[in-house]
Structure 1
């Protein structure tokens, strides 16, 4: 018996828009949501933190590996994490969607729900966006945030004598991707957790504003690998960052996945991206809460070094 699947092409452009917006409640920061030429979002601080990212089907996600809900949460998370990395609190996102006409409506619904639920983690809203026809799924997300009177925490503030700390998990998403790529059997909860981390990151959103309050002088979202991303802080600040691999936690899912695939788990921790942990630089005298783990230091010089290890490929580069 042939199964009837309702697609976005059956609804048409404005039917699709109405279906999406009907699933999106608006928070207190949104003064005017979907329905007009543009949204209006409150900016209590007087400054707006803005970040944008693009996700392409087949490069950033695969529909046979991830559900629409997973993709929605991931797309929102990587932008909301960038806002948090500036020390700001996310307020809203706007989404541009390119989708095929034969995309099932159920996939679109779960994608929308993923956007909504990830935003709900930080009290943000999906304030608007655009939709067009495309041969594959293309997602553009722009996130907005409020600094709440705090100074932005940029990449250029690291100084010799300070310490480097990380909040959030590292290596999990890379381990999950490697398992999926290898077609490994997911016959333990640890392996399933690693794959879940690839499908849906868990950024430590609250740690961004917390770091700003604690006096962090530099910070960023670890999206392309800890070594590569800390290299950006080193370059922007004109300093050298030295990492202690013994201080880096290797989570159980990473360790089990590495054993399954015969890989080095610390390599994923150092160079794997898409966990969207936060890495920050603090004055050495600051007493850090348990949510932050010191993993290195800042010294005179340039570049980045990892004690006792040679790092070949430091992280992800779209054009490498």
Structure 2
């Protein structure tokens, strides 16, 4: 069943106050090291480095009650940050959560959001270890992810792609964009398209894939957050190489094709420009790491191409667009 909408019942944030809001969050996403002025971690493993990343979700810009629930938003906030940690070849170990919300908002919204955060941090065997809450005009969520990069191998940086390497991916492509298009269409959504809607409400990647890829010889990696062509374009520029993708490997699956027919949209646009799948995409010298599939090759010719030609679609997410 497709669920959307935010709770509009129960006590408000103003009525319970800051401490009440904090207690609701800690209760929904408990941690033994959360609740003091700062979180104290156990010593890192020998020969390891700390990795950190942060992202924001702004109500009306990145999510809407029309298309999602607070639980989904909480999960999505963790996934998009943990995907950045995974894309470095690191292991997420903790998250910090900052929330700005209208005082009139029901506490139930924050509780459900924190429950989503807690469920997703649990999936990575990590914890929500602190954060902040304050008043604001719109609901704004900021998650800071902390990770551990073990061993002496290089991090999977954007500037490490090399000509002749294999291009690989882990996760769905185009599903989130298709799900959003279905939600925005105003049509009654057939049950068979529920996986697409769910992919938009809460994209999924398998925990640990970035670590696996780094151990298996991957050199460069990012996550598909702004659109496949756009994100590979960033990697190509930073590495001063070209990326030639395979149309066969990227071809929309049956579900995307059916959704395209339903909405009269070319599903290739979702695959190439959609973003927000947070698919891990990268390069490696050897065969695709476990859980990844080959989708192209690294070339010397600058830019991103498909079967040697310019892509039909090249758009993507713009933060200030």
What's the TM-score once normalised by structure 2's chain length? 0.92
Structure 1 unaligned spans of 5+ = 27-31
Q: 1:108 to 1:244 in 2, by over 3 A?
A: same
Distance in 2 between residues matched to 1:41 and 1:58, nearest whole Å: 35
Equivalent residues of 2:230, 2:315 under 8 A apart: yes
Picking from 245, 268, 271, the partner of 1:269 is 271
Q: 1:318 is matched with which residue?
A: 319
User: Residues 225-275 of structure 1, C-alpha deviation per residue, up to 9 Å, x if partnerless?
Assistant: 111101111011110111112211523432221111111112211111111
Partner residue of 1:113 out of 103, 112, 115: 115
Q: In structure 2, what is the equivalent of residue 22 of structure 1? A: 27
SS in structure 2 of the partner of residue 155 of structure 1: coil
Q: Is 1:33–1:40's contact at 8 Å kept on the other side of the alignment?
A: yes
- SS of equivalent to 1:228: helix
Provide the residue aligned with 1:226 in structure 2.
Answer: 228
Which residue is equivalent to 1:131? 133
- TM normalised by structure 1 equals 0.92
1:289 to partner: Cα distance: 4.7
Per-residue CA deviation, residues 53-97 of structure 1 (Å, 9 max, x unaligned), is 011000100022211100000001100110001001100000110
- Map of 1:132-281 to 2, 5 A cutoff? 132-149=134-151, 150-189=153-192, 191-281=193-283
Query: Separation in 1 of the partners of 2:221 and 2:195?
Result: 27
Deviations 1:17-63 (A, max 9, x none): 1221123233xxxxx72222211223324411101001100010002
Contact 1:75 1:141 in 2 (8 A): yes
Please report how far the alpha carbon of residue 309 of structure 1 lies from its aligned counterpart in structure 2 after TM superposition: 5.2
- Residue 284 of structure 2 corresponds to 282
CA offsets, 1:277-296, max 9 Å, x none?
A: 1001011xx23255211111
Runs of 4+ in 1 over 6 A off after TM superposition: none
- Determine the C-alpha separation between the residues in 1 that align with 2:9 and 2:176: 35
SS at match of 1:287: coil
Residues 255 and 309 (structure 1), Cα distance of their counterparts in 2 relative to 1, 3 Å cut: farther
What do you get for the CA RMSD once the two structures are aligned?
Answer: 1.7
Instruction: Give secondary structure in 1 for the equivalent of 2:272.
Output: helix
State the SS of the aligned residue for 1:152.
coil
Partner residue, 2:14? 9
2:297 aligned counterpart, secondary structure = strand
- Structure 2 residue runs without a partner (length 5+): 1-7
Q: Which residue of 2 aligns with 1:29?
A: none
How many residues align structurally?
310
